[in-house]
């Protein structure tokens, strides 16, 4: 229980005063009081004796008339004795009055002494309050403010010619607080500077201590939490899922903290999939408050996928415009010459000569060549504008675009289209890019030729598109990674790939609010199935 010095001094003075008063009255009662009581008892006894003598004197006077003449002598003796007793009584009374006056004077002196003592104690208490209690109160108030984190408060020290130890102590504390506040402000400025540096980084940054606590993060990471790529948490493993109550096992996510702790390498690179988003995680070991910790740099590879998709679209646009510029005019001129020859020498419609047949075939192929750059140009026109388009027509355009590559590798195309007038709502360019990537993967999987089957079907609410090849297939261990950015199995066919084709496909399929699945058997073939909501139930996702 807190008991202030002010109260302690006050109660001490009161207790001391009461104790002194009690001791005085006890001593007084034991000495002077008893003496006065004894004298008072003697006086009372003497008075009673005198009263008895007076009563006897009165009785004797009544008997005088009856006494004999020799009685006066005895009476005189009694009278003398009575006179002596009266004088003695007067002396005792006078002495008692003098003693009582002395006692009263003693009490008066003691009273004045007690008052002076009380005044002295009060003055002493006031001086203690000014010189001791007040400085201690100031120090206590300041210590409470500092304990609550307020380092801006200072002790107000009055100016005086004379200083004591408390003044020196308060000056020292003020100087110490000035240094502490200066150091804290410097540390805060450095923290703000460092925070601004990591906030300026485009990648998500977080620092994790040995107990899996996220001790620092940057703006990009906080934005990823707001966008729900991660969950808001204090522990790093809880950021992946709220259900995680312990560090990640290797079956869920490879833990960089555990791996770097037992590894000799200072860095580690991983790819984690969080909420269907591929994340590249670069981790490095750091010394954190004389303890072990790591710093993680997290990059959303979806941005790279979108960037690569835009690069492809831009490249196609450049290629299409170049082809259209270089080929269309020249091929158009050649086609005009051929049509002129046909009109001049083969105007007769009944003419079935072999020369006319070849010229017409040449003219038809030239017209087909002119449509190639037009298809590329149409494919390169990327836009977020949604429209209703025919899926069979789009698939046919992509087959025509890859016709030469398909035929040059001896691939047999099997078309099995149902509901040829079926339409969906979306970005036609994105849909064509999906089909283009999947057909190119099928062609790459059949370097020595094979069968490419493209099949469409519908049910009540969905459109199913299957693209099946009879190529080398994909191993089961690789199958779960094929949609991850920069993952490629093209080394099996001695081709080089970026590993972004299927990642782009998955991203574009999600924009269509559709789903993609894959099944494969080694040396038998691979089938990609796209499931798209039909036009009446489809809801598009626009980024």
Which residue is it, tokens 């009856």? 66
Q: Which residue has the higher pLDDT, 117 or 472?
A: 472
Q: Do 465 and 509 form a contact (C-beta atoms < 8 A)?
A: no
SS3 label, residue 283: strand
Question: What pLDDT digit, counting tens, does each position of 328-378 carry?
Answer: 667 777 878 877 777 777 776 666 777 777 777 777 767 766 665 655 555
SS3 label, residue 475: coil
Structure tokens at 314: 């831009």
Q: E strands along 255-307, which residues?
A: 267-274, 277-288, 291-300
Q: Where are the alpha helices (DSSP H) in 5-33?
A: 5-28
Q: Which one, of 432, 434, 437, lies nearest residue 375 by Cα?
A: 432
The percent of residues above 90 in pLDDT, for the chain, comes to 7
SS3 label, residue 400: helix
For residue 531, what pLDDT is reported? 92
Cβ burial of 420 (10 Å; 0-12, 13-18, 19+) is: exposed
Asked if pLDDT for residue 274 goes beyond 70, the answer is: yes
Question: What pLDDT digit, counting tens, does each position of 457-476 carry?
Answer: 888 888 999 999 999 888 88
Distance of CA 467 to the CA centre of its chain: 47
C-alpha span between 329 and 323 (Å, rounded)? 10
Asked if pLDDT for residue 62 goes beyond 50, the answer is: yes
Q: Which one, of 478, 540, 486, lies nearest residue 513 by Cα?
A: 540
Residue 211 — φ and ψ, nearest 5°? -95, 15
Q: What is the mean pLDDT of the chain?
A: 76
Asked if pLDDT for residue 452 goes beyond 90, the answer is: yes
Q: Do 355 and 408 form a contact (C-beta atoms < 8 A)?
A: no
Sign, Cα dihedral of 164, 165, 168, 171:
negative
Q: Give CA torsion, residues 73, 75, 81, 84, to 10 deg.
A: -100
For residue 76, what pLDDT is reported? 59
Return the DSSP state at 460.
S
Least confident of 27-31, 226-230, 282-286, 357-361: 27-31
The helix or strand, by DSSP H or E, that contains position 478, with its residue range, turns out to be: helix 476-479
For residue 467, what pLDDT is reported? 93
Cβ burial of 463 (10 Å; 0-12, 13-18, 19+) is: buried
Question: What pLDDT digit, counting tens, does each position of 185-221 carry?
Answer: 998 898 888 888 888 888 888 989 988 899 888 888 8
- pLDDT band per the 50, 70, 90 thresholds, residue 494: very low
Least confident of 26-35, 184-193, 394-403: 26-35
pLDDT (mean) for 258-287 = 81
C-alpha span between 36 and 522 (Å, rounded)? 130
Q: Do 143 and 154 form a contact (C-beta atoms < 8 A)?
A: no
SS3 label, residue 398: helix
Provide DSSP, 46-70.
HHHHHHHHHHHHHHHHHHGGGS-TT
Q: Do 507 and 306 form a contact (C-beta atoms < 8 A)?
A: yes
Which strands make up the sheet holding 291-300, listed edge to edge?
214-217, 204-209, 291-300, 277-288, 267-274
C-alpha span between 497 and 487 (Å, rounded)? 9
Structure tokens at 153: 């408060």
Which residue is it, tokens 């201690």? 136
């Amino acid at each position: 229980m807190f008991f202030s010095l002010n109260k302690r001094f006050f109660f001490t003075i009161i207790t001391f005063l009461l104790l002194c008063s009690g001791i005085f009255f006890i001593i007084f009662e034991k000495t002077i009081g008893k003496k006065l009581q004894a004298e008072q008892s003697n006086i009372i006894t003497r008075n009673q004796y005198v009263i008895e003598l007076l009563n006897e004197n009165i009785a004797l006077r009544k008997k005088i008339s009856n006494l004999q003449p020799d009685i006066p002598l005895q009476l005189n003796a009694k009278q003398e004795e009575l006179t002596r007793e009266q004088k003695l009584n007067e002396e005792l009374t006078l002495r008692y009055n003098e003693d009582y006056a002395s006692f009263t004077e003693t009490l008066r002196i003691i009273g004045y002494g007690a008052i002076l003592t009380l005044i002295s104690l009060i003055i002493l208490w006031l001086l203690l309050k000014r010189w001791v209690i007040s400085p201690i109160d100031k120090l206590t108030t300041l210590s409470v403010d500092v304990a609550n984190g307020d380092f801006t408060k200072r002790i107000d020290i009055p100016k005086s010619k004379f200083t004591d130890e408390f003044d020196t102590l308060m000056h020292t504390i003020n100087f110490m607080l000035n240094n502490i506040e200066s150091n804290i402000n410097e540390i805060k400025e450095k923290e703000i500077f460092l925070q601004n540096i990591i906030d300026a980084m485009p990648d998500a940054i977080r620092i994790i201590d040995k107990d899996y606590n996220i001790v620092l993060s940057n703006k990009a990471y906080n934005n990823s939490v707001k966008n729900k790529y991660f969950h808001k948490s204090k522990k790093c493993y809880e950021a992946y899922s709220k259900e995680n109550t312990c560090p990640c096992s290797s079956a869920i996510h490879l833990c960089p903290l555990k791996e770097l702790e037992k590894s000799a390498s200072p860095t580690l690179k991983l790819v984690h999939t969080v909420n269907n988003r591929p994340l590249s995680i670069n981790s490095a070991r750091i010394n954190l408050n004389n303890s072990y910790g790591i710093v993680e740099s997290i990059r959303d590879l979806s941005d790279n996928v979108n960037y690569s998709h835009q690069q492809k679209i831009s490249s196609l646009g450049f290629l299409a415009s170049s082809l259209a510029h270089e080929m269309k005019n020249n091929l158009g001129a050649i086609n005009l010459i051929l049509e002129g020859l046909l009109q001049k020498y083969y105007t007769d419609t009944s003419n079935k000569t072999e020369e006319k047949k070849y010229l017409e075939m040449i003219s038809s192929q030239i017209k087909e060549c002119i449509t190639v750059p037009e298809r590329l140009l149409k494919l390169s026109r990327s836009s977020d504008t949604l429209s209703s388009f025919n899926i069979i027509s789009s698939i046919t355009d992509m087959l025509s675009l890859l016709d030469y590559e398909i035929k040059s590798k001896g691939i047999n195309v099997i078309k099995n289209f149902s509901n040829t007038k079926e339409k969906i709502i979306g970005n036609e360019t994105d849909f064509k890019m999906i089909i283009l990537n999947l057909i190119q993967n099928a062609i790459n999987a059949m370097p020595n030729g094979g069968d490419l089957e493209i099949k469409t079907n519908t049910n009540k609410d969905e459109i199913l598109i299957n693209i099946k090849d009879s190529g080398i297939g994909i191993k089961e261990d690789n199958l779960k990674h094929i949609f991850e950015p920069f993952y490629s199995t093209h080394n099996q066919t001695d081709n080089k790939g970026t590993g972004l084709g299927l990642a782009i496909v998955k991203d574009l399929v999600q924009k269509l609010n559709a789903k993609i699945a894959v099944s494969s058997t080694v040396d038998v073939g691979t089938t990609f199935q796209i499931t798209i909501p039909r036009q009446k139930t489809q809801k598009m996702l626009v980024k």
